[in-house]
Amino acid sequence: MTDLHEMLLKVKSGEISLEQAEGYLRRRPFEELGYAKPDTHRRVRSGFPEVVFAQGKADEHLLEICRRIYADEGEVMATRASEHQYELIRSVLPEAEYDRLSRIVTCVRSPREQKGCIAVCTAGTADIPVAEEAARTAEYFGNRVERIFDVGVSGLHRLLSHLELIQRANCVIAVAGMEGALGSVIAGLVDKPVIAVPTSVGYGANLHGVSALLTMINSCANGIATVNIDNGYGAGYIASQINRLAQPPGSEQVQ
């Protein structure tokens, strides 16, 4: 079932009956599987369905959780999935697709229209896997994404050559390892929210992303917020919420 607003519109148009809608709203807000409780009302509350974190899950648990969510929502996304987990999911959901760079599995019955604009920028090429996790998360939730890779501060002219596009976006995701300065630089050039994503890319004193994290949370630039190390999914989700606020239904598309 889609979000509450769309369900009410379907009742109004006669596409579904009042009794069907009432039955959905009366349904328990989660399914009890013993080992998991899929959140069947997540979309009603937040506008987005529940997403599955695949890493560390037992095969049989992952399979049943994904199957239940897809049956209920008509779509499912699993993050941090291995090739093995993808093959398992595809055994029960043959239309599932896997992006090896971001390690995201998706199976979507009816893809959403991509709206608005989110710019996803990386400092270096090694940051792209985390950036792709952010970008594909945002696309799954119905956002148009512009990818701008390898524009780190060691060659600032590369970033400036894309400045017009970055400034047009409703939200910017800045993904960087090493010292993590990219988020501060971008936040000083745009009037939109910037989500900084520290990555674990870097030499020893990078401390597996801690140095980039500290740079980003200590930024003196305005309008910048920071998510956890390598948390592309978290950045993509927050950016989706921001873009949705900036691009309400029926509004003109950002070009």
Strand 143-148 to strand 115-122: parallel, antiparallel, or no bridges (unpaired)? parallel
Number of structural domains in the chain: 2
- Give me the pLDDT at residue 37, please: 63
- Choosing from 85, 108, 131, the residue where a domain stops is 108
- Give me the pLDDT at residue 178, please: 92
Q: Give strand pairing partners of 115.
A: 143
- Give me the pLDDT at residue 71, please: 85
Q: What's the burial of 59, exposed, middle or buried (CB within 10 Å: 0-12/13-18/19+)? A: exposed
Percent of the chain with pLDDT over 90: 67
125 & 207 share domain: yes
- Choosing from 73, 108, 143, the residue where a domain stops is 108
Quick check: 226 and 212 in contact, CB under 8 A?
Answer: no
Instruction: Tell me the per-residue pLDDT of 11-31, one tens digit each, with 9 for 90 and over.
Output: 888 888 887 776 666 666 665
Give domain status of residue 94, yes or no: yes
Give domain status of residue 155, yes or no: yes
Q: What's the burial of 140, exposed, middle or buried (CB within 10 Å: 0-12/13-18/19+)? A: buried
30 & 137 share domain: no
- Give me the pLDDT at residue 187, please: 95
- Choosing from 75, 90, 108, the residue where a domain stops is 108
Q: Hey, what's the torsion of the CAs at 180, 116, 168, 230, to 10 degrees?
A: 0
d(CA 206, CA 212): 7
Q: Is the pTM higher than 0.85? A: no
Element spanning 84, H or E: helix 83-92
119 & 239 share domain: yes
* Mean pLDDT to the nearest integer, 93-104: 95
104 & 120 share domain: no
The parent domain of residue 12 ranges over 4-108
Query: Of the ranges 71-75, 163-167, 187-191, which one carries the lowest mean pLDDT score?
Result: 71-75
CATH at 207? 3.40.50.1970
d(CA 194, CA 187): 6
Instruction: Tell me the per-residue pLDDT of 184-235, one tens digit each, with 9 for 90 and over.
Output: 999 999 999 999 999 999 999 999 999 999 999 999 999 999 999 999 999 9
Residues 6+ positions from 121 with CB-CB distance below 8 Å: 131, 148, 149, 151, 159, 162, 166, 172, 173, 174, 175, 182, 186
